């Protein structure tokens, strides 16, 4: 730390992606402010509105007009939680940046704990969800086995229950900004970045209001991003499955030969059907795996902007309400 910083009050940016959270935003802001006001920091709550179509936008503008610490950036369309988070970390200028959800599932009471660890010298304070209240058994089980699979097939260790509720020192935030990949799995990126790290466990309460914005379809897409962005093992699986099916083909060939020698070739139609089904299936599977990678290569090669900002309502930006990208 340089001397100038040692005497000034440290500034904390709290980045919150929100998508249709009209019933949560005001309550969330109140709770965060109550916690942060008791701490010796200057802070901003930077909401990234991820293309909401309910009253979220109006509420954010009202809150911002009343309280200069509430800042918001509005994305041009719904781009997804990970991209909204990226927009937040790209624009947050605090000495430490904390990312958290706006539905009260990341308890604001934990903020002092994260900040204490930061003050003790940790550059990344990652929270780990030990359980989630009111979550379906399906989500709990799929999440548990997903993390096991992820850790088995990737080189980066991603903590089971790891969430996007974390504190990052400015240096770690600057490092994160250098990652431009589109299929983003921020947990994996941060996990692979290094820096001095620690974890804090918590129990996630139920949402304060509204519904989860993660449909089964979004969950599967997110899960695939996590695996395909960090592992080439699925391509290897295709290779081994290919070898296995080739061996099976040899066995089947021996069977066909045996039947031919016995003079019972008429029954061969079943072998043909079995073969075409089996190898057809294998080929489709391998094409599917290759396709997933090719789709991602295409996405990265296009190098489109990660997000488009419709309006930036941060006070210090001096570009209030102005169009920008």
Q: What share of the chain is helix, strand, coil (3-state, %, to 5)?
A: 50, 15, 30
Question: Judged by CB under 6 A, which of 12, 18, 173, 309 binds ligand UDP?
Answer: 18
Question: Judged by CB under 5 A, which of 20, 105, 127, 163 binds Mg ion?
Answer: 105
55 Cβ neighbours under 8 A, 6+ residues apart: 22
Q: How far apart are CA 12 and CA 41, in angstroms?
A: 7
Q: Is the Cβ of residue 204 or residue 282 nearer to ligand UDP in the bound state?
A: 204
Element (H, E) at 164: strand 162-169
Q: Write out the binding residues for ligand UDP, residues 143-202 only, by CB under 6 A.
A: none
Q: How far apart are CA 72 and CA 315, in angstroms?
A: 9
Local structure of 142: helix, strand or coil = helix
Instruction: Work out whether 81 is an interface residue with ligand UDP (CB under 6 A).
Output: yes
Instruction: Work out whether 103 is an interface residue with Mg ion (CB under 5 A).
Output: yes
Q: Is the Cβ of residue 127 or residue 245 nearer to ligand UDP in the bound state?
A: 127
* Cross-strand partners of 71: 46
Q: Is the Cβ of residue 134 or residue 318 nearer to Mg ion in the bound state?
A: 134
Contact stretch for Mg ion (CB under 5 A) within 33-41, 74-82, 98-106, 118-126 = 98-106
Buried (b) or exposed (e) across 85-94, using 16+ Cβ within 10 A?
bbbbbbbbeb
Of 57, 2, 65, 69, the residue nearest 29 (C-alpha)? 69
> Helices 233-261 and 268-302 sit at what angle, rounded to 10 degrees?
160
Instruction: Work out whether 226 is an interface residue with ligand UDP (CB under 6 A).
Output: no
Q: Is the Cβ of residue 105 or residue 245 nearer to Mg ion in the bound state?
A: 105
Q: Is the Cβ of residue 133 or residue 264 nearer to Mg ion in the bound state?
A: 133
Q: Is the Cβ of residue 17 or residue 191 nearer to ligand UDP in the bound state?
A: 17
Identify whether the C-beta of residue 106 lies closer than 8 Å to the C-beta of residue 127: yes
| Shortest distance in whole angstroms from residue 102 CB to Mg ion | 8
Contact stretch for Mg ion (CB under 5 A) within 65-73, 99-107, 256-264, 291-299 = 99-107
Q: What is the contact surface with Mg ion in residues (CB under 5 A)? A: 101, 103, 105
Q: What is the binding site for ligand UDP (CB under 6 A)?
A: 17-19, 21, 50, 78, 80-81, 84, 101-103, 105, 212-214
């Amino acid at each position: 730390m340089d001397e100038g910083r040692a005497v000034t009050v440290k500034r904390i940016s709290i980045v919150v992606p929100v998508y249709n959270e009209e019933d949560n935003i005001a309550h969330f802001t109140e709770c965060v402010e109550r916690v942060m006001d008791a701490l010796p920091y200057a802070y901003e709550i930077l909401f990234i509105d991820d293309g909401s179509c309910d009253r979220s936008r109006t509420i954010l503008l009202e809150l911002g007009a009343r309280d200069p610490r509430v800042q918001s950036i509005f994305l041009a369309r719904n781009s997804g939680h990970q991209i909204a988070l990226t927009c937040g970390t790209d624009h947050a200028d605090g000495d430490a940046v904390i990312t958290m959800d706006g539905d009260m599932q990341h308890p604001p009471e934990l903020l002092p704990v994260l900040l204490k660890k930061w003050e003790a010298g940790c550059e990344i304070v990652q929270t780990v969800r030990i359980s989630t209240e009111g979550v379906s058994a399906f989500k709990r089980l799929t999440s548990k086995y997903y993390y096991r699979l992820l850790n088995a097939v990737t080189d980066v260790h991603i903590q089971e229950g790891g969430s996007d509720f974390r504190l990052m020192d400015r240096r770690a935030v600057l490092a994160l900004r250098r990652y431009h990949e589109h299929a983003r799995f921020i947990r994996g990126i941060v996990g692979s970045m290094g820096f001095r790290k620690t974890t804090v466990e918590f129990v996630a309460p139920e949402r304060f209001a509204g519904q989860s914005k993660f449909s089964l379809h979004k969950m599967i897409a997110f899960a695939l991003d996590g695996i395909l962005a960090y592992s080439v093992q699925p391509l290897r699986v295709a290779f081994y499955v290919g070898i296995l099916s080739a061996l099976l083909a040899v066995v089947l060939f021996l069977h066909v030969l045996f039947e031919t020698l016995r003079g019972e070739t008429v029954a061969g139609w079943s072998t043909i059907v079995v073969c075409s089904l089996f190898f057809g299936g294998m080929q489709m599977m391998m094409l599917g795996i290759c396709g997933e990678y090719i789709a991602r290569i295409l996405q990265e090669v296009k190098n489109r902007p990660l997000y488009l900002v419709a309006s930036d309502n941060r006070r210090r930006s001096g570009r209030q309400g102005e169009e920008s990208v």
